[in-house]
Chain A
Amino acid sequence: MDRLLEGRVAVVTGGGKGIGGGISRALAAHGAKVVFNYNSNPDFAERTVDEIKKNGGEAYTCPVNVQNREQVDAMMKKAAELYGGIDILVNNAAWQPNMDIDECTDDVYDGVIDTNLGGYFRCIQSALPYLKKSEHPRIINISSIHGKRPSDFDVCYTMSKGGIEMLTREAAMELIQYGIRVNALLPGGTKIEFKSGKTQPFKFKRVQRERQYGFRAVGTPEDVANAVIFLASEMGSHINGTSIRLDRGAILF
């Protein structure tokens, strides 16, 4: 396999497990040194670091709440100190409580918006001084298909993803003066090993008639990671301010 990101340094928020874990492993496999945080679960994060190291890669993990500016700043500084700078920021850490508007409290609203939108904003601002010095700077925002289509089970989550759509466009427009490309990826349903305990199961309100796709409509973290590698590599250098659906076209059915 060609290693497309040899020597680059990547920061992945929530990069220890789920989609983020797949992204961290893929970045490392392509030669990037990876720094990622965990918020709730050190076991998954440490396991991912071990796995990357076992395969000859470099990775570092630390506990950071993306709602906390000082902790985010410290993570970026640490990444730069350890590996000499930051080239790629993957904003991925998110909270999906699966609550309808009638059950969603003030605290849940604030938590979701401040993690999913505020966290992305904070990490971009904090990584900016390092990204400006990079020769191949990239910001990749992991959003969701629900940035385009309502979920019908999680109002704040969908609002935050609608915000990420515009955050991506504004940032792309503003930061291209520094050569920084900013794009969003919109995964559809993705199979992951573990979801945070703050998530409740979704309640479908539609009469369910099983959609017969005739193909694998549910993605894997690797499917998302492939798109991250593409955008982060030289092949993605002419792509800016767009959002790419990763759902095999399931949204069309």
Chain B
Amino acid sequence: MVTERKVALITDGSHPSAASIAEKLESEGIIVVKNYPRSEKKGPIEGEPNSFAFDTWSFEEMSKLLEFIVEKIGNVNYLVHTDNVVFRSSIEEISEDDFKRVLDYNAKSAFMSTKVFAEHMAQNEGGAIVYLSSVHDDKPTGCAFAYSVSKGAVRMLCKEMALFYGRQGVRANVVQLDPVEEQVELFDSLISPYNYDAATKIPLRRLAKPEDCAGIVSFLLSDEASFINGADVRVDGGHLLYYFDR
């Protein structure tokens, strides 16, 4: 082991919340490694420490990423899955390729990064996973069909992992973030008024900000949350209470 400090991997550093999560974790002394999937050039990113570019939905590439991290930094203790690609398309319109692509980017990435990193954590000193997901793993979007399908799959992946790796010292939880300010337009729907006038509807009178989930992600990873496993934590200011709930 190269470092005594804990190491966290954020699977997609381009997620709007990635920067604030990284900042929060670093403030707690954790070394944060960021990955950038869908980059053309694979491998360590030059000039940016602890940054890599590997495709999260590929077992081989995730295994290579693990090798790099273990060699250069140390064992990984935490996995934050942030892959979150939104294609605006209805069930009627979406192409076969786009459907598969969204499922690979969002769901297979969760599966493959878990397969590699949860196994690694289980074989070392244990750890924790947070899947940074969306309220749209529960509430249909009415505009991005494949997106919510992929998030529904991640929701159940988390529950399986909470059982399977929970026994091996790795906890798994989901954070359901409301669409953040800059993404609200992406979820504009002609058939669902969910995002219409959201800032007024949300009881806390504002839209979600990318940094709203940093605290809960850091808490769920920490030892203070050592008995929290397989949970969904909704971070939406109470928005979903107007709509679908269960």
Q: Hey, which bits of chain A sit against chain B, CB under 8 A?
A: 69, 100-102, 104, 106, 109, 113-114, 117-118, 121-122, 124-125, 128, 146-147, 149-152, 155-156, 158-167, 169-175, 177, 205, 241
Contacts A69-B96, A175-B91 given; indicate if A150 touches B156 (C-beta within 8 A): yes
Query: Bound state CA distance, A169 and B142, in angstroms?
Result: 9
Residue in B closest to A114 when the chains form the complex, CB atoms? B100
Query: Bound state CA distance, A57 and B100, in angstroms?
Result: 38
The dominant DSSP class at the B interface is: helix
Query: Bound state CA distance, A102 and B111, in angstroms?
Result: 11
Q: Would you call B192 an interface residue if the criterion is a C-beta within 8 Å of the partner chain's C-beta atoms?
A: yes
Contacts A117-B103, A118-B100, A175-B91 given; indicate if A147 touches B156 (C-beta within 8 A): yes
Give, as a whole number of angstroms, the nearest-CB distance from B97 to chain A: 11
Give, as a whole number of angstroms, the nearest-CB distance from A163 to chain B: 4
User: Is B92 a contact partner of A159 (Cβ separation < 8 A)?
Assistant: no
User: Is B111 a contact partner of A170 (Cβ separation < 8 A)?
Assistant: no
Q: Report which of B136, B152, B163 forms a contact with A152, defined as CB distance below 8 A.
A: B163
User: Is B167 a contact partner of A205 (Cβ separation < 8 A)?
Assistant: yes
User: Is A174 a contact partner of B92 (Cβ separation < 8 A)?
Assistant: yes
> What are some 30 contacts across the A-B interface (CB < 8 A)?
A101-B111, A102-B119, A117-B149, A125-B92, A147-B156, A149-B159, A151-B160, A155-B164, A159-B153, A159-B156, A159-B160, A162-B156, A163-B107, A163-B150, A165-B152, A166-B149, A166-B152, A167-B91, A167-B145, A169-B140, A170-B140, A170-B141, A170-B149, A171-B145, A173-B140, A173-B142, A174-B90, A174-B142, A174-B145, A205-B167
Q: Report which of A102, A164, A170 forms a contact with B91, defined as CB distance below 8 A.
A: A170
CB contacts (< 8 Å) of B177 on chain A: these are none
Most buried by B among A125, A170, A173, A174: A170
The dominant DSSP class at the A interface is: helix
Q: Report which of B111, B114, B160 forms a contact with A150, defined as CB distance below 8 A.
A: B160
CB contacts (< 8 Å) of A113 on chain B: these are 103, 107-108, 153
Query: Bound state CA distance, A117 and B163, in angstroms?
Result: 23
Q: Would you call B42 an interface residue if the criterion is a C-beta within 8 Å of the partner chain's C-beta atoms?
A: no
Query: Bound state CA distance, A146 and B118, in angstroms?
Result: 22
User: Is B164 a contact partner of A170 (Cβ separation < 8 A)?
Assistant: no
Q: Report which of A147, A162, A169, A177 forms a contact with B154, defined as CB distance below 8 A.
A: A162
Q: Would you call B87 an interface residue if the criterion is a C-beta within 8 Å of the partner chain's C-beta atoms?
A: no
Contacts A150-B156, A174-B91, A174-B142 given; indicate if A167 touches B149 (C-beta within 8 A): yes
Q: Report which of A118, A166, A205 forms a contact with B148, defined as CB distance below 8 A.
A: A166
Query: Bound state CA distance, A161 and B153, in angstroms?
Result: 7
User: Is B160 a contact partner of A101 (Cβ separation < 8 A)?
Assistant: yes
Query: Bound state CA distance, A167 and B136, in angstroms?
Result: 11
Tell me the chain B residues, 51-67 only, with Cβ under 8 Å from chain A: 59
User: Is A150 a contact partner of B163 (Cβ separation < 8 A)?
Assistant: yes
Tell me the chain B residues, 102-122 only, with Cβ under 8 Å from chain A: 103, 107-108, 111, 114-115, 118-119
CB contacts (< 8 Å) of A149 on chain B: these are 159
Give, as a whole number of angstroms, the nearest-CB distance from A222 to chain B: 27
Residue in B closest to A163 when the chains form the complex, CB atoms? B153
User: Is B164 a contact partner of A158 (Cβ separation < 8 A)?
Assistant: no
Residue in B closest to A149 when the chains form the complex, CB atoms? B159
Query: Bound state CA distance, A118 and B99, in angstroms?
Result: 8
CB contacts (< 8 Å) of A205 on chain B: these are 163-164, 167
Q: Would you call B161 an interface residue if the criterion is a C-beta within 8 Å of the partner chain's C-beta atoms?
A: yes
A-contact 0/1 string along B161-203, CB 8 Å cutoff: 1111001000000000000000000000001100000000000
Most buried by A among B136, B157, B159, B160: B160
CB contacts (< 8 Å) of A172 on chain B: these are 140
Q: Would you call B137 an interface residue if the criterion is a C-beta within 8 Å of the partner chain's C-beta atoms?
A: yes
User: Is A158 a contact partner of B159 (Cβ separation < 8 A)?
Assistant: yes
